[in-house]
């Protein structure tokens, strides 16, 4: 995909493969200089088409990933347009800087946690809210320990993120299987809240199977379910 002196292509970095998956990147080239931008998504290597530069298939995962690729593409074009309007030189570095500057408006996991704590403080019982506090504490600890970060954009919460969070929880000596399931189910409820708020479009839990979990209603009590189901 090329426009003016700007070229944008998408590729999968198989050198960073993990468990059969590899991350996706946008390669931005301007005036012969190129830079990479992470899409924050990792998909099965066998599901990537080097020809179409899209994820193969029509599954919900494929549609979500391909929609994200289109979104990134048009956002990069918008960065170029804004730089032109401001009379600035179009370089790969300038576009990348502008892209991340614009990305600061994206809602994050910490935004979601703060919103949930503020809105639900007078809605549900303190004892119920405390369960969410614990889940949120583990999420922040996971970011710090496993991702070396204090926050993450909601759009970057993927199937891989959830799977690694589950592994992180299972390493906690005081958590049994049921405890892990409760935290994962609360995370799913928080994600559903983000979707209702229009802070997130796709649902990373779509193809995530919480193993041995009968139903969410077997895990959370009525007060917890009412937090987001209502």
Task: Give residue-wise pLDDT tens across range 71-126.
Answer: 899 989 988 888 888 888 888 888 887 787 655 556 789 999 999 989 888 787 88
Q: What's the confidence (pLDDT) of residue 201? A: 64
**Same domain membership, residue 113 and residue 82:** no
Domain's final residue, options 41, 74, 103? 103
51 φ, ψ (degrees, to nearest 5): -80, -55
Side by side, the strands of the sheet bearing 2-3 are 2-3, 6-12, 21-30, 33-44
Q: Which domain holds residue 214?
A: 109-229
Domain's final residue, options 87, 103, 119? 103
Q: Torsion angle, CA of 179/181/187/192, rounded to 10 degrees? A: -140
**Same domain membership, residue 218 and residue 122:** yes
Task: Collect all residues with Cβ–Cβ distance below 8 Å to 196 and sequence separation of at least 6.
Answer: 228
Number of independent structural domains in the chain = 2
**Same domain membership, residue 145 and residue 70:** no
Domain's final residue, options 68, 103, 138? 103
Instruction: Say how far apart CA 151 and CA 95 lie, in whole Å.
Output: 23
pTM score: 0.53
**Same domain membership, residue 209 and residue 119:** yes
**35 bridge partner residues:** 28
**Same domain membership, residue 209 and residue 141:** yes
- Region 20-45: what's the mean pLDDT? 89
Q: How many residues does the chain have?
A: 230
**Same domain membership, residue 113 and residue 98:** no
**Same domain membership, residue 127 and residue 203:** yes
**Same domain membership, residue 127 and residue 71:** no
**Same domain membership, residue 87 and residue 193:** no
More confident call, 142 vs 228: 142
């Amino acid at each position: 995909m090329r426009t003016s002196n700007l070229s944008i292509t998408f590729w999968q970095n198989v050198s960073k493969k993990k468990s059969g998956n590899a991350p996706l990147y946008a390669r931005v080239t301007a005036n012969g200089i190129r830079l990479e931008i992470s899409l924050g998504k990792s998909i099965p290597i066998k599901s990537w088409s080097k020809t179409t530069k899209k994820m193969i298939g029509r599954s919900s995962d494929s549609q979500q990933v391909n929609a994200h690729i289109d979104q990134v593409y048009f956002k990069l074009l918008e960065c170029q347009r804004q730089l032109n309007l401001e009379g600035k030189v179009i370089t790969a570095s300038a576009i990348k800087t502008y892209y991340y500057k614009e990305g600061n408006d994206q809602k994050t996991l910490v935004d979601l946690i703060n919103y949930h704590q503020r809105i639900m403080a007078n809605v549900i019982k303190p004892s119920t809210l405390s369960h969410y506090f614990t889940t949120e504490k583990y999420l922040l600890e996971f970011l710090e320990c496993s991702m070396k970060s204090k926050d993450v954009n909601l759009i970057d919460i993927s199937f891989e993120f959830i799977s690694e969070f589950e592994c992180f929880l299972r390493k906690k000596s005081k958590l049994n299987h049921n405890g892990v399931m409760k935290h994962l189910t609360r995370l799913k409820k928080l994600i559903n809240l983000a979707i209702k708020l229009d802070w997130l479009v796709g649902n990373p839990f779509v193809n995530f199977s919480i193993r041995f979990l009968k139903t969410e209603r077997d895990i959370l009590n009525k007060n917890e379910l009412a937090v987001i189901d209502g």
